[in-house]
């Protein structure tokens, strides 16, 4: 399962090897200073299913992994059926406009990012 980590002044989305293969992408990094909001979402499949797939894979409601485009925004999603709750992390001035990530305890991850 993908994991959000803080590494110095960066927020890192660490992907497993299988996620990297499915997404055709390695770990993602963005400066913490570029984080504009972190929102807990009870069903992260819904925002991850919006728009169209650029690179990666998607079976709506089951998994979404890769880069997607929705409403002119570039979004990276790492969502699995085993982690339907998660976070939408929005950025200003970063490569992606948002990351959508499923996680077991989104509130704890949100606190970690917001209190960096």
Specify the pLDDT at position 50. Answer: 85
Specify the pLDDT at position 3. Answer: 96
Q: Which of 61, 53, 96 is nearest to 79 (CA)?
A: 61
Q: pTM of the entire structure?
A: 0.94
> What parts of the chain have a pLDDT lower than 70?
none
Placement of tokens 């001035």 in the chain: 93
Specify the pLDDT at position 66. Answer: 96
Contact indicator for 84, 102 with CB cutoff of 8 Å? yes
Specify the pLDDT at position 28. Answer: 98
Give residue-wise pLDDT tens across range 63-77. 999 999 999 999 999
Specify the pLDDT at position 116. Answer: 81
Domain boundaries, the chain: 3-114
Contact indicator for 45, 84 with CB cutoff of 8 Å? yes
The mean pLDDT of the chain is 95
Percentage of the residues of the chain whose pLDDT score is greater than 90: 88
């Amino acid at each position: 399962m993908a994991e959000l980590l803080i590494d110095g002044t960066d927020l890192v989305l660490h992907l497993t090897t299988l996620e990297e293969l499915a997404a055709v992408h390695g770990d993602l990094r963005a400066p913490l200073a570029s984080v504009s909001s972190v929102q807990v979402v009870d069903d992260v499949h819904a925002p991850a299913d919006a728009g169209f797939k650029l690179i990666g894979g998607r079976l709506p409601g089951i998994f979404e992994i890769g880069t997607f485009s929705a409403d002119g925004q570039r979004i990276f999603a790492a969502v699995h059926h085993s982690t339907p709750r998660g976070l939408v992390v929005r950025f200003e001035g970063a490569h992606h406009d948002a990351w959508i990530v499923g996680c077991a305890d989104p509130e704890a991850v949100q606190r970690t990012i917001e209190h960096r």
